[in-house]
Amino acid sequence: MLGICVSSCGGEQTSLPDPGAVPAGMRSVTLGDGSLLHVPNQAQRILPATSAAVDLLTDLELHDRVIAIPLAAFSWSVAAREPERWSEHTVLNALEGEAILALKPDLIIAAPWSYQGPLWVARSVNIPVLPLPDAKSWIEIEAGISLAGRALGVQDRAETLMDDLAARRSKLAAAGRPSRRMVAYSNFGAGGHTSGTGTTLDLAIALAGMENAVDGKGHCELSLEEILSISPEVFLTSTGRDMVSPGAEFLRNEPVLSHLEAVKKGRIIVLPAELFSASSHRILDAAEEVARQVDLLFN
């Protein structure tokens, strides 16, 4: 009856706002879960919340639109190798709501595992948060590059980057080097750890054409007895502080492991920390370095 009365009384009808309407100056991008996110047509104050986001923004040539980078990026991203490029940027020591709001970003790039508390604060004042997929498979990496390209209005750059990465992957695959059984190993004094299937290091090993000899999923502890049982052809570890590799030093000096072929012949590959812990398309950089060092060890 109310609807009949309104139409018959000749009064003006007021339309309710469309909750799905895109605000002026914004556009919608579809996220991996199918939901829509409104982002600025041309974000100019981008805040990367992760090291992976710093890698991606670097290779999409958006350095000049970044307002700050997380402190961890100087250890785990391309910024570790090119710190001078980021020396004038504000450094975000911790992902905290107050610090984020003070920077006044118009877009935050995060990860599914990013601490959600500060991001909720950002969302509460309508700062869009773009969650990139994890980098546990190459499909996820490409999906993240494509999503970022659409969200940032640089689809052409994203496609160029993916084409370059595809060519590099093909070159690695075409090398025809023998597959070596490899174990990723870390030991910073609190016991040994390794990376099984479903990890970024597992992906790097596979891209290099090698075999991850660890029979397990995710990141897990690795005892001396397990190392002896696996007896890998090659160990893969990383540098720590001051470019020293605690993992390599442990493997070389642990008497229990001294008779292993990989230890006796020095088949221990040491990656820079930013490659060993890469969580972006830079995993391919790690794979190329693994392949290069494998060639040196066996040729």
- Among 187, 185, 180, which residue's Cα sits nearest to residue 206? 180
Asked, for residue 180, whether it belongs to a domain, the answer is yes
Asked, for residue 120, whether it belongs to a domain, the answer is yes
**188 shares a domain with 125:** no
Instruction: In whole angstroms, give the CA distance from residue 239 to residue 155.
Output: 35
**264 shares a domain with 203:** yes
Mean pLDDT in the chain? 90
Please, what's the b/e burial string for 194-232 (b: 16 or more CB within 10 A of its CB; e: otherwise)?
bbbeebbbbbbbbbbbbebbbeeeebeebeeebbeebeb
Q: Which residues contact 96 (CB under 8 A, 6 or more apart)?
A: 118
**56 shares a domain with 125:** yes
The residues pairing with 109 across neighbouring beta strands, listed in sequence order, are 48, 130
29-39 pLDDT per residue, tens:
999 889 999 99
Asked, for residue 70, whether it belongs to a domain, the answer is yes
Instruction: In whole angstroms, give the CA distance from residue 176 to residue 255.
Output: 35
State the residue range of the domain holding 70: 26-134
Asked, for residue 139, whether it belongs to a domain, the answer is no
Asked if pLDDT for residue 15 goes beyond 50, the answer is no
**260 shares a domain with 183:** yes
Q: Sort 284 into a burial class: Cβ within 10 Å, 0-12 / 13-18 / 19+.
A: buried
**181 shares a domain with 283:** yes
Number of independent structural domains in the chain: 2
- Confidence category of residue 5, pLDDT binned at 50, 70, 90: very low
* Average pLDDT estimate for 111-119: 84
Asked, for residue 38, whether it belongs to a domain, the answer is yes
Give residue 83's Cα distance to chain centre.
18
Count CB atoms within 10 A of the CB of residue 193: 15
pLDDT of the residue at 243: 67
